[in-house]
Amino acid sequence: MATRSLLEVMNGFVVELRSAGLPVSLTEHIDAMEAVRVVDLADRESLKHALAATLVKNHTHWRPFEVVFEVYFSSLGGRVALAPADIGAGPHDDLDVMLQHLQDAAADRGGRLADLTSDELAEMLYRALLEGDDAVAKALASQAVTRFSGMEPGRPVGGTYYLHRTLRRLDLESIMQRLLDQAEADAADGLTDFQRRLARDEYDSRIGRLRRAIEAEIRRRLVADRGASAVAKTLRRPLPEDIDFMHASADEMAQLRKALVPLTHKLAVRLARKRRHGRKGPLDFRSTVRHSLSYGGVPAEPKFRHPRPSKPEIFVVADISGSVAAFARFTLMLVHAIAGQFSKVRSFVFIDGIDEVTRHFDAAEDAAEAIHRVNTEADVIWVDGHSDYGHAFEELWKTWGNDIGPRTTVILLGDARNNYHAASAWVVKEIRARARHVYWLNPEPRSYWNTGDSIVGEYASHCDGVFECRNLRQLERFVDVLG
Partner 1 sequence: MTNRFESSAAVKDALKAVAYLADDATSGVVFLADRLQKPILVEGPAGTGKTELAKAVAAVTGSRLIRLQCYEGLDESKALYEWNYKKQLLRIQAQRNAEGDGASWSELEEDIFSESFLLSRPLLEAIRATDPVVLLIDEVDRLEVETEALLLEVLSDYQVSIPELGTMVAEQIPLVLLTSNNTRELSEALKRRCLFLHIDYPELDREKEIVLTRVPDISEHLADQIVRIVRRIRQLELKKHPSVSETLDWARTLLLLGVDDIDAATAKSTLNILLKYQSDMQRAAKELTANDPLKAL
Binding positions for partner 1, rule: CB under 8 A: 23, 25, 27-28, 31, 34-35, 38-40, 45-46, 49-50, 52-54, 56-59, 62, 180, 192-194, 196-198, 200-202, 205, 261-262, 265-266, 269-270, 273, 277, 365-366, 368
Closest CA to 303 of 324, 280, 287, 319: 287
CB of 40 to partner 1, least distance (A): 8
Q: How far apart are CA 90 and CA 113, in angstroms?
A: 9
- Please identify, using beta-carbon distances, which residue of 59 and 164 lies nearer to partner 1: 59
User: E strand or H helix at 281, and its extent?
Assistant: none
Q: Is the dihedral of CA 82, 84, 86, 87 positive or negative?
A: positive
Distance of CA 60 to the CA centre of its chain: 8
- Closest distance to partner 1 from the beta carbon of 196 (Å): 5
Nearer of residues 143 and 471 to partner 1, judged by Cβ: 471
The residue (of 207 and 463) whose beta carbon lies closer to partner 1 is 207
Q: What strands lie across the sheet with 313-319, from one edge to the other? A: 354-356, 344-350, 313-319, 408-413, 437-442, 465-468
- Cβ closest to partner 1, residue 119 vs residue 189: 189
**Minimum distance, C-beta of residue 271 to partner 1, in the bound complex (Å):** 11
Q: Which residue lies nearer to partner 1 by CB, 44 or 391?
A: 44
Radius of gyration of the chain (CA): 30
Alpha-carbon distances, residue 37 vs 7, 80, 235 (angstroms): 11, 21, 28
What is the amino acid identity at position 240? P
Q: How far is the CB of 50 from partner 1 (least distance, A)?
A: 6
Closest CB to partner 1 among 40 and 104?
40
Looking at this protein, which amino acid is placed at residue 382?
W
Torsion of CA 175, 181, 187, 190, to 10 degrees: 150
φ and ψ at 468, to 5 degrees? -75, 130
In the complex, what is the shortest distance from the CB of residue 26 to partner 1, in angstroms, rounded to a whole number?
10
Q: How far is the CB of 27 from partner 1 (least distance, A)?
A: 6
The beta-strand segments (E) located in 142-269 are none
Which residue type does 253 have? M
Contact yes or no for 307/451 (Cβ under 8 A): no
Phi, psi of 309 (to 5 degrees): -65, 95
Residue 136 CB, nearest approach to partner 1 (Å): 17
How far apart CA 64 and CA 23 sit, in angstroms, is: 12
Q: Which is nearer to partner 1, 40 or 115 (CB)?
A: 40
For partner 1, give the closer residue by CB, 366 or 403: 366
Containing 245, the helix (H) or strand (E) segment is none
Q: Which is nearer to partner 1, 202 or 458 (CB)?
A: 202
Could you tell me which residues are beta bridge partners of residue 223?
none
State the minimum distance, in angstroms, from the CB of residue 58 to partner 1. Answer: 8
- Closest CB to partner 1 among residues 30, 422: 30
Instruction: Read off the amino acid at residue 183.
Output: A
Cβ of residue 273: shortest distance to partner 1, in angstroms?
A: 7
Measured CA to CA, the distance from residue 381 to residue 403 in angstroms comes to 23
Q: How far is the CB of 322 from partner 1 (least distance, A)?
A: 26
147 or 270: CB nearest partner 1: 270
Nearest-angstrom CA–CA distance, 121 and 113: 8
CA separation for the pair 281, 264 (Å, rounded): 28
Q: How far is the CB of 29 from partner 1 (least distance, A)?
A: 11
Least Å distance, CB 297 to partner 1, is 31
Burial of 303 (0-12, 13-18, 19+ CB in 10 A): middle
- Helices 3-19 and 26-38 pack at an angle, to 10 degrees, of 140
Nearer to partner 1, 3 or 27 (CB): 27
